[in-house]
Structure 1
Amino acid sequence: MPANARVTLRYGPYESSGVVQHRTFRLQGLQAALTARGHRCILEETRDWNAVELVVNGELVFTCHIKQLEFGGDGKLDPVCREAVAAVENAY
């Protein structure tokens, strides 16, 4: 996969402090990790609760539960972020 891939990052709402809504705090590390590798992230809200999906060239390459991602940070120490970046870079 080229270093400048366009990655669509789909995310759903999740519950925090009794309120369910779309939040990007847990996506910051993932975005930073992808951007550091030269990829361009496009955020897209979905209705699927707790879902995170990475789409490259129309192909779903990675999915996880949003609460598996670390809150904030740069994604360097988050094993789920490393797995997601590897999935993007191994996409066709």
Structure 2
Amino acid sequence: MPAQAHVFLRYGPYRSLNLTLEHRTHRLQGLLAVLHKAGHSVTLQKIEDWDTLELIVNGELVFQCKISDLDFKGDGGLDPLCEEAKEAVLKAY
């Protein structure tokens, strides 16, 4: 696996505190930090699927979860989904 992969992070809108449905990146911060720390470059892409997060590497879907399942803000170090996503990117090659 190359040290640096290009990851497309596709994310949909979700509700935060029962407010309006919007594309937000607050819950993505930890995952972005983990991926950048591992040496990967990330491109964010908005999609219309509600509460959906997808990681695409080399044109293949390697990880998917609900955005609302990610920890809010933080560095992603304690979020098991961030670790799972990082491992999925590593195994993509």
| TM-score where L is the length of structure 1 | 0.97
Give the letter for the 2:89 counterpart. V
Give the letter for the 2:23 counterpart. H
Cα RMSD after superposing both structures: 0.7
* Structure 1 segment 1-92 matched on structure 2, within 5 A: 1-16=1-16, 17-92=18-93
Q: Give the unaligned 5+ runs of structure 2.
A: none
Count how many residue pairs are aligned between Structure 1 and Structure 2.
92
CA shift, 1:10, in A, is 0.2
1: CA distance between counterparts of 2:75 and 2:25? 13
Richer in strand (by share)? 1
Q: Give the unaligned 5+ runs of structure 1.
A: none
CA shift, 1:18, in A, is 2.3
Aligned-partner SS, 2:65 = strand
Greater CA deviation, 50-59 or 9-18?
9-18
Identity of counterpart residues, as a percentage?
Answer: 58
| TM-score where L is the length of structure 2 | 0.96
